[in-house]
Amino acid sequence: MKITDNALKILKKRYLAPGETWEDLCDRVAHKVAGDEASEKARTAWKKHYKKLMLNLDFLPNSPTLRNFGRNQGCGSACFVLPLEDSRKSIFKTLADAVDVQAYGGGTGMSFSRLRPKGDRVNSTGGKASGPVSFMKIFDITIGDVIQQGGTRSGANMGVLRIDHPDIEEFINAKKQEGKLKNFNLSVGITDAFMNAVEKNQHYDLVFNDEVYKTLAARDVWDTIVAGAWRNGEPGIVFLDTINRNHPLKPLGAIEATNPCGEQPLLPYSSCNLGAINLAQMIKGPWVTGQAEIDWEKLRKTIQLAVRFLDSVISVNNYPIPEIEAMTRKTRQIGLGIMGFADMCIKLHLRYGSIESIKLAKDIMSFIYQTADATSIELGQEKGAAPVYEEYDFANSKRRNSTLTTVAPTGTLSLIANCSSGCEPNFAFNYTKECLEGEKLDMMPAVVQEWHAKNEDKTLPEYFVTMQDVSIEQHVMVQASLQTSGVDSGVSKTINAPYTTDKKEVSGAFFQAWKTGCKGITFYRDGSRDRQALYTDVGETEGKTEDTLRRGELKHRPRATTGPSLKMKTACGKLYVDPHFDGDSVVEVFIRTVGGGCAANTKALGVLISYCLRAGISLEKIIRSMKSIHCPACTKAISAGKDVEVNSCAAGMGKGLEIAMQNADMWREVARRIEDADIYFNGSMNSETKNTSCPDCGAMIRRAEGCMVCANAECGWTRC
């Protein structure tokens, strides 16, 4: 398969060694993984299979494997959980271990439930405990801001606290203010007892070391969780009892935490290396004309190769700390997952979220698990079963791997493979994605390009579904179908809901997830954060002024503003966007079209955006909102290869504002000079100009060609 330009940008940014190509990367990773085989002949043969598997984009392992294997001594696994006991020694050992894991390229999950509540007496010193949230802040700063995952991105962590911990209220609200604990995802560890108490409107106890600290109304706490998820997506929830009822390693103890994205519940010191099969590639026949079907034999062979690949990663891996290596080699957990599910639905002419697509999810995941299970048993016969089966009494003691399947987000992998992410619906069919420390990628899914190549002038049919077309209930049904049909770990899925979603709908989704067997769930309401994923936290005070605008109040517009005039090509003609600055930021924008489009609408939109800017609405939010809007005319023109620069007139307005902000300091300075000069002129030039001087050099000001200019030719100041 040909690598797209977007994929190449990503690979160069984060995966390729200097001078390396995509084929070179596949070769070095395949060589490293095949090194697990016993003979040179076997190593050569398996390397060839693995290289072809990745090169054709049928399967990709998780990012650390792609980035590190055959290139450095980094780890090939992405998911880790560390223990956290109630002592300073344990806490700071875990912090040190987490630093090592992050430096190797992995993300860490931790349960803070064993730490004593805030205000509890510390017997050894006579002092008082600061509580779990205070230690999370230490971890956040140390791991996230100081250490980078594999040297490429800020650290990712999952913090879990049980619903019955005495500090649960502080934990739920820990990220109420955006920018706090920015390197942590938070999930509340929910129990069945609590969910039953919510349903029955009962009270429940907050307990630590068998001591009841407080009794709360379960529904009040539930409403606080729901309000946080509705407000900014934090916290998520994990259903601890559901996880442990279906725990493949029950004899080793209970699971208390997951990896940062929630798809991998793990025991302390456990790790898991992941990989995803590209379901969009498991189709045969001309799909555009409705003659496609699942290529079950290709899928079977891909699963068999992928299981062996992931198992070999465990054997040839480099581990950040000895405890993780020992636990990983003992349990030999792998996480084979999927990407491109939404694209598979499109190719089969199924609407994502429909009953047919939910049945497809069940059939596909069941097939993957059954094939993976058979393959792991064969590997156990060839190479030996996982050592954990010899130490404990298990019903199935012949497998090579104690866990087999998971569904991860695959955000970066799906960009490389040019398919939909994980089990999620397509975000949109023509949009801009901001990622990789500011990298901006213009996205158009391969299925859309393929459709328009055959149907240039036709609109997309109804089975082309985006995130906005999927109901909350359908999101949960897809997740539950995957989870209960063939996933022995977890499913990472986010309910991306419209901004207008209310809290009652969030509550209903969480209850539906619990009752249908999901192990956890995350909710995000579009536009509910000022800064979304991969935006830089610039501090709490940015954008605030001493005189906060009251509701309905507009910022004063100076008599003169300044800024660039930008021209862009749309499907309907030329679009001109003129963002104008005052001394602080953009305060208004003028928009007009030439050669097509609706001039009245674009002018009106410019007026409304100007009012938003003067009312104090976040410029970043305006830009993101505008750039997310797409029109069918521009989509068709872009897919047809026409010279169109933006996805819609609205997106062009957002792009114009974004471009202007790249030179914001310059435009602000020019605006300040104009404003200073204007104040001076207003005060002293009502009649004559002979008593005025240049604000830059002090020379006399004279009128020339309808403007006021400095008489000093070397200065060059002009009011115009």
Q: Cite the active site residues.
A: 259, 261, 263
- Identify the three-state secondary structure at position 139: helix
Using alpha carbons only, give the angle 10, 11, 13 rounded to the nearest 5 degrees: 65
The rounded distance, in Å, linking the Cα atoms of 448 and 620 is 29
- For the record, the structure tokens of 367 come out as 């097939």
The rounded distance, in Å, linking the Cα atoms of 339 and 296 is 16
Distances (CA, A) of 565 to 576, 662, 668: 7, 14, 15
- For the record, the structure tokens of 316 come out as 């040839």
Q: Which residues, at least 6 apart from 215, have a Cβ–Cβ distance to it below 8 Å?
A: 203, 204, 205, 206
Tell me if 250 sits within 8 A of 258, measured CB to CB: no
Q: Which residues, at least 6 apart from 137, have a Cβ–Cβ distance to it below 8 Å?
A: 181
The rounded distance, in Å, linking the Cα atoms of 222 and 507 is 8
- For the record, the structure tokens of 153 come out as 């991105």
- Please, what sign has the CA dihedral across residues 429, 430, 434, 436? positive
**CA-based nearest residue to 572, from 592, 557, 558:** 592
Tell me if 272 sits within 8 A of 77, measured CB to CB: yes
**CA-based nearest residue to 311, from 266, 373, 368:** 373
Residue 183: CA count within 13 A, CB half-sphere? 23
DSSP per position, 207-273: EETTEEEEEEEHHHHHHHHHHHHHHHS--EEEEHHHHHHT-TTGGG----EE-TTSS-EE-TT-EEE
Amino acid letter at 579?
Answer: P
Which residue in this structure is represented by tokens 């404990």? 392
The rounded distance, in Å, linking the Cα atoms of 74 and 77 is 9
**CA-based nearest residue to 68, from 60, 59, 77:** 77
Tell me if 548 sits within 8 A of 615, measured CB to CB: no
Looking at residue 693, the DSSP 8-state letter turns out to be: B
The rounded distance, in Å, linking the Cα atoms of 424 and 407 is 10
Looking at residue 710, the DSSP 8-state letter turns out to be: E
Q: Which residues, at least 6 apart from 154, have a Cβ–Cβ distance to it below 8 Å?
A: 144, 145, 148, 183
**CA-based nearest residue to 345, from 299, 287, 289, 306:** 287
The rounded distance, in Å, linking the Cα atoms of 298 and 700 is 82
Q: Which residues, at least 6 apart from 702, have a Cβ–Cβ distance to it below 8 Å?
A: 689, 708, 709, 710, 711
- Identify the three-state secondary structure at position 680: helix
Q: At what angle do helices 619-627 and 649-661 cross, to 10 degrees?
A: 140
